[in-house]
Every structure is written in structure tokens, then in C-alpha cells.
């Protein structure tokens, strides 16, 4: 079973839980802090890579004419 990171919207407890996809989809996972099931999915590990990737993507200036394949300004 995969692990998921959740944040409880009632008490803001962030926790990691191993659950089936069905349990996740049907909100069957209770908050360990208050027992509530209104949870917000958080991406603890993914956020780190997204931040670093975004920093990399915004590195070239808007006037970039490098035309490299990975350049965000090279589309079209």
C-alpha cells in the first residue's frame, strides 16, 4: 500500500499514513489527532523538488533566445 501525507483541516495535524487507494478516495482515513476525516492531501517530498524545479525554470531571462529544447521560451 502506498503512503500518503495528509493535513487535517480541523486541527491542522499533518500525518503520514499507509492506506489503500480506496480508503483515500472514500475519505475513510481518520485524523490521528481529532478523528476528523476532512483531510487535505499534502506533498511533503514533492514540494521540495517542485520548488527547486521552479527556481531552475525561472532562471532564464524572459528575453532568452537560446532555443534550447528544454528552454521554456523555446516553444513554437
Question: Which residues of the chain form contacts with Zn ion (CB under 5 A)?
Answer: 8, 10-11, 13, 31, 33-34, 36
Kindly tell me which of 35 and 72 has the beta carbon lying closer to Zn ion. 35
Can you list the positions of beta strands (E) in 1-76? 3-8, 14-18, 39-42
Nearest distance, CB of residue 36 and Zn ion, angstroms: 5
The Cα-based distances of 75 to 23, 54, 61, 70 in angstroms read 41, 17, 15, 9
Kindly tell me which of 13 and 73 has the beta carbon lying closer to Zn ion. 13
Kindly tell me which of 9 and 68 has the beta carbon lying closer to Zn ion. 9
Amino acid at each position: 500500500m502506498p503512503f500518503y501525507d495528509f493535513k487535517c483541516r480541523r486541527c491542522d495535524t499533518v500525518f503520514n499514513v499507509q492506506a489503500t487507494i480506496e480508503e483515500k478516495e472514500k475519505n475513510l482515513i481518520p485524523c490521528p489527532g481529532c478523528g476528523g476525516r476532512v483531510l487535505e492531501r499534502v506533498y511533503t517530498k514533492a514540494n521540495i523538488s517542485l520548488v527547486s524545479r521552479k527556481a531552475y525554470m525561472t532562471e532564464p531571462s524572459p528575453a532568452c533566445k537560446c532555443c534550447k529544447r528544454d528552454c521554456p521560451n523555446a516553444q513554437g
